[in-house]
Structure 1
């Protein structure tokens, strides 16, 4: 086993970094800072960071097949033009819930945008329960609600054979699976494939590797864990130098690097002094596994 190495690659801290996405064509990592209303693009070759400020909390970002990006902003799906820093609304959700916002989102293998909502937090992970939902934006522009009464809609990915959709509702402390129909995008038959251990705390963002194993960022747990969804067992734990690890994705030229986002918000001054790297973006190498390229929104 090669030795695992962890380094922070972006020294500017995010308040709540999320939604890392590797963009192959620019050798860059996209990510967001939810409360700062900013989307970032870190170029792995030049080490330069560009940013794009939007008008509300921004919780996920993804690549668009026709160019530019898509993102979840407030309770809206938006299209982004990076060159002129403009955005346009594709559609909005949860119109009856003024206190809601989108959280994590990801594009499925057929180019649909899966993203879920949650109530605004009073403090990190403290919020009105069951106010969120999981939505799917189809390339046609239609949006459908797939799951209701969600607490914190979070990590999502698809199995290598595209027959299973994995999903996290954080306060259930579980990683769940659904049967998934690639052609229609429909999901069914929800079940738990992994229950969090006490010291792993809250399951947050998630991604899959080419061996079909899941990598889950553990909020308040200061780690990412590798799970086997077929056996419900944890295979590996990688601890990070800050406790509020939020999400992860594979990237780099051969998708062998795991990028992990983190947060500063919610850490008191004492913890911040002991976790100077809180809120940074980390790169983990030497894991011996690879991930898959992200899918792009087809609309």
Structure 2
């Protein structure tokens, strides 16, 4: 184990800075990484083959982006779900959150193994990571474009993923400092039996985005912690800690050849003029290699 860990390499691969980089997802067909800049209000695609970066501005604060099976993407922005036609560089609203409070916005999201897009909301930030409490909810956009509300009383709806057998849904409400699990009904998209599987030490930072690896272990990016934790949801233990050269690490996903690279997004928003020179790569996106573990391909929204 130690031998494998000693070969871990962290490199900054996307040098264009994001105010709040988030929601990275790998597109195998053209070896690219798609992600959002929440307050920078844009969706970006970066080719790992050419290094080319292409971005489209969004109308609202954009919390997450996912691939769409029929082509293009779906984003959770403001309080609506929208389709993105990358070729035409246009957006079309799929569904509004009619009952959502006006002082909230979408945050992180991901597609489940059956093609539903799960995304949660949070109160608008008073300053970075400081929000009006308990304003958020978790929603899912189904393939028929209907929206299901799962639960409310959320501070900052964040990282989410599903177990390899699709029977468990993992979820992070950041300010609770824990990773929770639900029994998952893949037929209906229903959640039940909520429980805590891991408590994050406050020294590690604020749990943010999350992904699962091919061994069923979770990788949690810790905002203000400059690290990604690998945790075992079965035993509630921390297995590994990967440090990054920036404090505001926001999310992560596996990608690259065989999904053996871990891509980590970061933010610079909220840093003052004293902190910024100490972290010249804040807001950049990093690639971690040599972890000795692989991820799984992302699912696509089927509607």
The match for 2:277 among 254, 273, 279 is 273
The match for 2:102 among 98, 103, 113 is 98
Residues 156 and 274 of structure 1: is their aligned pair in 2 closer, same or farther, counting only changes over 3 Å?
same
Residue of structure 2 in register with 1:217 after alignment? 221
The match for 1:261 among 252, 260, 265 is 265
Residue of structure 2 in register with 1:157 after alignment? 161
C-alpha deviation, 1:224, in angstroms: 0.1
Judge conservation of contact 2:79–2:100 (CA < 8 Å) in 1: no
The match for 1:77 among 70, 74, 81 is 81
The match for 1:189 among 156, 177, 193 is 193
Residue of structure 2 in register with 1:32 after alignment? 36
Residue of structure 2 in register with 1:52 after alignment? 56
1:227 aligned onto 2:225: no
Cα distance in 1 between the residues matched to 2:215 and 2:65: 25
Cα distance in 2 between the residues matched to 1:184 and 1:246: 30
Residue of structure 1 in register with 2:299 after alignment? 295
Structure 1: gaps spanning 5 or more residues: none
Moved segments of 4+, more than 2 Å? none
Aligned length: 299
Cα distance in 2 between the residues matched to 1:91 and 1:81: 16
1:66 aligned onto 2:67: no
Judge conservation of contact 1:94–1:100 (CA < 8 Å) in 2: no
Secondary structure of residue in 1 paired with 2:29: helix
Secondary structure of residue in 2 paired with 1:157: strand
TM-score between both structures, scaled by the size of structure 1: 0.99
TM-score between both structures, scaled by the size of structure 2: 0.97
The match for 2:23 among 11, 19, 23 is 19
Structure 2: gaps spanning 5 or more residues: none
The match for 1:237 among 238, 241, 244 is 241
Secondary structure of residue in 2 paired with 1:176: strand
Cα distance in 1 between the residues matched to 2:276 and 2:12: 16
C-alpha RMSD of the superposition: 0.8
Q: Deviations over 1:179-225 (max 9, x none)?
A: 00111111100001000112112100000000000000000000000
